């Protein structure tokens, strides 16, 4: 039973963001896949590519609509649950949200043109409308990230005598040095998550067999999805390393919680797995690589890494949540990278031998098992980002407990919004199943 407003408000935001991120990720990444498919249709007149482009465009439209509802609910929740945060941060992050609104409207306009312009626009004009959808979708997500990056690294103001922001420079939010890395990492995570989810779906269909006429359609869908996902899977470790290096300098308590680093030390080990014991201040059962954390954080195996013992106990993040989420994110990312490597190595061998053979069943099964890993990594990464910042809602400036609504009981709001998101989730699953059946039905219709 949730007994206090702070816990209920946090649970509500966690559930809301967890749901909304799924819709937002599909809305950002799916247009890229439909552009690749349509380009193949324009160039080769491949009707399977056309079927894929139409199916993915419909999915993009469905998730855009659902995401609009969930995003609107989130905007209400910010005001209802965190009025003190919004009173402080509104003048600073307002322009970023306003620009995100423009990107949203541009996306809506061109998505409408794309959906209803198949027979009404020239192929080139139609394809360019798809580009507008893809770019505005990315910009919408990137501008929202500007607000979150500001919460991690608050800039553009100084605190006045009463603790209110003065000398506000809202445009400093858009020049925040934390923003580009976070935006790039988050955007690529959507391509990786959606790409592997789609690839796993087509790999599973190929593994099961079925109508022979649908096989080229599924193989093409798998190839496009893996193209979208694989580049992101390769770049993500690089961006993740840069973010960890930034945390080493600017958010050392977050890095310590992520790595289960309780004691400040030189030659700090990189821990794989392990169970953080807060009372004993030790991470038990972890596989430790001596000096590796120091090297990854500061490019020096002898560098000193701050432990949680350097910070007051009431400023520690939830160590177990941050550590486990980080391990899940990294583990899922590595598994996807291995799956992508196996897929492209197999494709290279087949091309080199001049044989257009079916993919090995073992590989198809592995790719099918990889289907949920991108979304698992996406959600786990956001838990790391948000849990690692705690107990601050604005890092070093405002605590989460000081930002919550003074209303004594928000459990009714929690129940209402949870029901809304559960309904939206079921609606998405319903449309995904219908689209999957419809796509297969049109496959091979030459």
Residue (of 242, 98, 258, 259) closest to 177 by Cα position: 242
Contact between 197 and 375 under an 8 Å Cβ cutoff? The reply is yes
d(CA 144, CA 151): 11
Residue 146 CA, distance from chain mean position? 15
- Coil vs helix vs strand at 127: helix
Whole-model pTM? Answer: 0.91
b/e code 361-389 from CB counts within 10 Å (16+ = b): eebbebbbebbebbbbbbbbbbbbbbbbb
If 0-12 CB within 10 Å is exposed, 13-18 middle and 19+ buried, where does residue 250 land? middle
Tens-digit pLDDT profile for the chain (446 aa)? 445 778 888 888 888 888 888 888 999 999 999 999 999 999 999 999 999 999 999 888 888 888 887 787 788 788 888 889 998 998 899 889 889 989 999 999 999 999 999 989 999 999 999 999 999 999 999 999 999 999 999 999 988 887 788 888 888 999 999 999 999 999 999 999 999 999 999 999 999 876 666 788 899 999 999 999 999 999 999 999 999 999 999 999 999 999 999 999 999 999 999 999 998 999 999 999 999 999 999 989 999 999 999 999 999 999 999 999 999 999 999 999 999 999 999 999 988 887 767 888 999 999 999 999 999 999 999 999 999 999 999 999 999 989 888 776 666 677 777 777 777 777 777 777 776 666 555 555 44
What's the DSSP call for residue 359? Answer: P
Q: Which pLDDT does position 10 carry in this prediction?
A: 85
Which tokens belong to 182?
């976070």
User: 3-state secondary structure string, 343-373?
Assistant: HHHHHHHHHHHCCCCCCCHHHHHHHHHCCCH
d(CA 33, CA 441): 20
- Residue 204, C-beta contacts closer than 8 angstroms, at least 6 positions apart: 364, 368, 371
d(CA 192, CA 225): 9
**Number of neighbours of residue 427 by Cβ within 10 angstroms:** 14
Place of tokens 């993740």: 240
The residues with which 288 forms a beta bridge, in sequence order, are 271
Q: How far is CA 150 from CA 175, 182, 271, 278, 412, in A?
A: 10, 11, 29, 29, 30
d(CA 48, CA 221): 9
The DSSP element (H or E) to which 37 belongs, if any, is helix 5-44
Residue (of 124, 350, 130) closest to 223 by Cα position: 350
DSSP states of 295-318: HHHHS-TT-EE--GGGS-GGG---
d(CA 386, CA 394): 11
* Dihedral, CA of residue 7, residue 273, residue 245 and residue 294, to nearest 10: 130
b/e code 18-33 from CB counts within 10 Å (16+ = b): bbbbbbbbbbbbbbbb
Length of the chain: 446
The residues with which 166 forms a beta bridge, in sequence order, are 158
d(CA 420, CA 396): 33
The residues with which 305 forms a beta bridge, in sequence order, are 265
- Start-to-end CA span in the chain (Å): 58
d(CA 65, CA 218): 26
């Amino acid at each position: 039973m949730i007994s206090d407003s702070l816990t209920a408000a946090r649970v509500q935001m966690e559930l809301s963001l967890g749901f909304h991120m799924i819709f937002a990720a599909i809305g950002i990444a799916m247009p890229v896949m439909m552009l690749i498919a349509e380009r193949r249709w324009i160039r080769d007149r491949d009707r399977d590519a056309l079927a894929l482009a139409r199916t993915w465009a419909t999915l993009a439209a469905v998730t855009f609509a659902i995401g609009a509802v969930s995003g609107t609910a989130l905007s209400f929740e910010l005001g209802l649950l965190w009025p003190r945060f919004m009173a402080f941060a509104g003048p600073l992050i307002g322009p970023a949200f306003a620009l995100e609104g423009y990107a949203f409207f541009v996306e809506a306009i061109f998505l409408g043109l794309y959906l209803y312009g198949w027979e009404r626009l020239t192929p080139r004009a139609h394809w360019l409308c798809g580009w507008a959808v893809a770019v505005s979708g990315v910009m919408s997500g990137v501008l929202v990230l500007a607000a979150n990056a500001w919460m991690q690294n608050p800039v553009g103001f100084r605190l006045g005598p009463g603790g209110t922001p003065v000398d506000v420079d809202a445009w400093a939010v858009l020049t925040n040095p934390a923003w580009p890395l976070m935006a790039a990492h988050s955007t690529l995570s959507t391509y990786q998550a959606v790409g592997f989810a789609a690839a796993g779906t087509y790999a599973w269909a190929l593994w099961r067999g079925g109508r022979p006429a649908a096989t080229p359609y599924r193989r093409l869908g798998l190839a496009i999805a893996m193209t979208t996902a694989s580049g992101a899977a390769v770049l993500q470790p690089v961006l993740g390393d840069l973010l960890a290096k930034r945390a080493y300098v600017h958010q050392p308590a977050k890095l310590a919680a992520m790595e289960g680093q309780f004691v400040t030390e030189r030659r700090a080990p990189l821990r794989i797995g392990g169970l953080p014991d807060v009372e004993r201040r030790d991470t038990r059962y972890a596989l430790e690589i001596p000096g590796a954390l120091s090297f990854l954080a500061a490019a020096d195996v002898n560098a000193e890494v701050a432990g949680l013992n350097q910070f007051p106990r009431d400023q520690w993040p939830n160590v177990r949540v941050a550590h486990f989420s980080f391990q899940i994110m990294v583990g899922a990312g590595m598994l996807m990278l291995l799956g992508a490597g196996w897929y492209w190595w197999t494709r290279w061998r087949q091309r080199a031998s001049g044989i257009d053979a079916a993919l090995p069943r073992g590989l198809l099964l592995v790719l099918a098992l990889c289907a949920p890993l991108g979304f698992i990594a996406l959600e786990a990464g956001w838990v790391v980002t948000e849990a690692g910042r705690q107990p601050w809602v604005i890092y070093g400036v405002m605590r989460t407990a000081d930002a919550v609504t003074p209303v004594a009981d928000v459990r009714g709001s929690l129940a209402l919004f949870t029901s809304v998101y559960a309904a939206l989730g079921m609606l998405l699953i319903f449309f995904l199943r219908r689209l999957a059946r419809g796509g297969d039905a049109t496959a091979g219709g030459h």
